[in-house]
């Protein structure tokens, strides 16, 4: 056995990176090894089985949690089935969003058009469910046959007396990020259509949180303890009437910047509404977000900063002792992260450091050049940063970097399990809240249970590593 030196490790890494397809090399970077110049937001490489979704899926996941709206997919039944109930978005009231409706276009509709079928579906569904609004999603086939969604929606809106809004989300128009923009444009048609007489000067909208496992309720609880009114949840546990009057709020808090930053910019331009980029995951980012909100409103309410300090102190006093034993067990373990939006990765890296783990692989589906450049500054040297990865690339780096736990979504879970690696679900389907100080403990406990499970004693990778002394290379 010989001790591996840093140059040899680097040379091996460069050799393995050379195995990437030429078209993919600009979308993979190792932190600290030259200037980062990622090729982002490009079309997925044909045949590479990208982890991304289409424009339609991007729009659907953003709008879906608006709980008292009707969501009708104009297209083949497969599109509606693919996106049905794909977010664990909880509602404190109506649950119309949990139903998935489709016009189920067939061959005859492709030939003769589907507008009559769409009008009939809206007529029946609106009468049956009495929604506050209806969103009609365009799919690839609708874009090809040329159905005029806008005209059908306008006529139905006049007939039924509710907003019927077309979502121009044909899947072939781009990638998931384009779907976010289509969703924001659709929502913006609701903004500014209701009075704001009861909105406080200390008020916010929560953008980009989808209330997975009830997380938005945790964040709302913190804000209310600070003395702040939450006008609208956009879109988790969302309500149409709240979105219609959300322009009256003094500040937009944008959590998932990829999905709802476009809406924040539209509101800034038309209504002058300020916005802050925030994160609710992990100790540092949750506290920093609350302090940023308090500082924004300090001129209106000077006591809000002290109330926020008391809140953070109280939460940390309860949390930190609970993390000590977890950190002792996890210290030095390795983590991989692959998420939808790169902004989540910042918070996850910090959260892993609080429990003693090192992030060696981080990637996203929809990150931008600026976000990846900022991400490199918080990564350790040698960390692999990857954009729009495919399963083969993720498997390759998980093995090479000897990862202990993989944080990802439903498409990454099989990769981790097949490679004998612990998995932590950070995607739409999870049932455990990870936001806020309470969520930080849930996250740490889930990672600990995954990494320390005795099942890994029976995995060949673990057995090989146990036989090699630390710092040695077989």
Q: Which of 420, 426, 428 is nearest to 458 (CA)?
A: 420
Please compute the mean of the pLDDT values over residues 114-132 and round it to a whole number: 98
Per-residue confidence (pLDDT) for residue 1, from 0 to 100: 33
pLDDT band at 14 (very low <50, low <70, confident <90, very high): low
User: Residue 358 forms beta bridges with which residues?
Assistant: 334
- pLDDT one-digit tens code per residue, 64-102: 999 999 999 999 998 888 777 666 789 999 999 999 899
Of the listed ranges 2-6, 23-27, 68-72, 292-296, the least confidently predicted one is 2-6
Confidence at residue 7, expressed as pLDDT on a 0 to 100 scale: 39
pLDDT of 9 reads 41
pLDDT-based confidence at 470, cuts 50/70/90? very low
Percent of the chain with pLDDT over 90: 71
Euclidean distance between CA atoms 206 and 220, whole angstroms:
9
Q: Phi-psi bin for 152: left (phi > 0), alpha (psi -120 to 50), beta? A: alpha
Alpha carbons within 13 A on the beta-carbon side of 92 = 14
The b/e string for 368-402 (b: 16+ C-beta within 10 A; e otherwise) is beebbbebbebbeebbbbbbbbbbebbbbbbeebe
Mean model confidence pLDDT for the chain: 89
Sequential DSSP letters for 281-317: BSHHHHHHHHHHHHHHHTTT-TTHHHHHHHHHHHHHH
Residue 98's SS3 state is helix
Can you tell me the mean pLDDT for 422-431? 84
pLDDT tens for each residue of 399-421: 999 999 999 988 899 999 999 99
Range of weakest confidence among 2-11, 65-74, 149-158, 429-438: 2-11
10-14, 207-211, 367-371 — which one is most confidently predicted on average? 207-211
The CB-side HSE value for 421 (13 A sphere, CA atoms) comes to 30
The reported pLDDT for the residue numbered 86 is 63
Phi, psi of 168 (to 5 degrees): -80, 85
Cα dist from 299 to 40, 295, 306, whole Å:
40, 8, 13
What is the pLDDT confidence band of residue 473, given thresholds at 50, 70 and 90? very low
Tens digit of pLDDT for each residue in 202-232? 999 999 999 999 999 999 999 999 999 999 9
Q: What's the CA gap between 86 and 98, in Å, rounded?
A: 9
Mean pLDDT confidence for 436-440: 97
Q: What is the pLDDT confidence band of residue 23, given thresholds at 50, 70 and 90? A: confident
Q: In the predicted model, what is the mean pLDDT of residues 348-366?
A: 94
In sequence order, what are the beta bridge partners of 70?
134
Question: What pLDDT band is residue 8 in, cutting at 50, 70 and 90?
Answer: very low
DSSP code at position 468: S
Residue 385 pLDDT > 90: yes
pLDDT in tens, 39-63: 877 777 666 666 677 899 889 989 9
Bond prior to 323 in cis (omega within 30° of 0): no
User: How far is residue 30 from each of residues 14, 16, 182, 325, 377, measured CA to CA in Å?
Assistant: 9, 12, 33, 32, 12
137 vs 6, residue with greater confidence = 137
Residue 257 predicted with pLDDT over 80 = no
């Amino acid at each position: 056995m010989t001790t591996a030196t840093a140059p040899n490790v680097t040379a091996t890494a460069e050799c393995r990176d050379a195995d990437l397809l030429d078209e993919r090399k600009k979308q993979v970077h190792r932190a600290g090894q030259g200037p980062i110049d990622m090729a982002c937001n490009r079309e997925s490489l044909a045949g590479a089985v990208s982890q991304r979704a289409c424009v339609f899926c991007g729009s659907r996941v953003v709008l879906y949690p608006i709980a008292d709206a009707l969501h009708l997919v104009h297209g083949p039944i497969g599109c509606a089935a693919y996106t049905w109930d794909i977010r664990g978005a909880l509602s404190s009231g109506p649950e119309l969003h949990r139903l998935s409706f489709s016009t189920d276009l067939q061959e005859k509709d492709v030939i003769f058009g589907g507008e009559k079928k769409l009008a009939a579906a809206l007529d029946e569904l609106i009468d049956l469910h009495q929604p506050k609004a209806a969103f009609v999603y365009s799919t690839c086939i609708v874009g090809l046959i040329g159905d005029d969604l806008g005209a059908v929606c306008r006529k139905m809106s006049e007939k039924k007396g509710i907003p019927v809004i077309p979502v121009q989300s044909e899947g072939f128009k781009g990638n998931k990020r384009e779907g976010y923009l289509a969703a924001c444009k659709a929502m913006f048609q609701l903004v500014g259509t209701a009075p704001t007489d009861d909105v406080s000067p200390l008020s916010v909208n929560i953008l980009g949180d989808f209330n997975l496992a009830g997380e938005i309720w945790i964040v709302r609880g913190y804000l209310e303890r600070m003395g702040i009114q939450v006008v609208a949840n956009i879109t988790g546990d969302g309500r149409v009437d709240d979105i219609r009057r959300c322009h009256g709020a003094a500040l937009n808090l944008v959590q998932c910047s990829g999905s709802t930053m476009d809406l924040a910019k539209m509101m800034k331009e038309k209504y002058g509404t300020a916005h802050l980029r925030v994160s609710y995951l992990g100790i540092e980012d949750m506290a920093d977000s609350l302090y940023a909100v308090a500082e924004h409103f300090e001129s209106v309410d000077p006591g809000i900063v002290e109330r926020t300090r008391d809140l953070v102190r109280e939460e940390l006093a309860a949390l930190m002792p609970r993390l000590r034993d977890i950190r002792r067990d996890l210290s030095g373990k390795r983590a991989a992260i692959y998420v939808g939006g790169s902004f989540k990765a910042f918070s996850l890296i910090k959260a892993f450091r609080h429990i003693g783990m090192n992030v060696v692989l981080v990637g996203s589906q929809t990150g931008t050049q600026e976000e990846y450049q900022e991400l490199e500054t918080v990564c350790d040297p040698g960390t692999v940063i990857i954009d729009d990865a495919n399963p083969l690339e993720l498997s390759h780096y998980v093995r090479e970097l000897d990862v202990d736990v993989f944080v990802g979504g439903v498409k990454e879970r099989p990769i981790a399990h097949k490679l004998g690696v612990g998995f932590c679900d950070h995607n739409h389907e999870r049932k455990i809240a990870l936001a806020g100080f309470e969520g930080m403990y849930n996250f740490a406990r889930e990672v600990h249970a995954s990494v320390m499970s005795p099942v890994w004693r029976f995995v060949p990778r673990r057995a090989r590593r146990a036989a090699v002394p630390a710092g040695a290379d077989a």
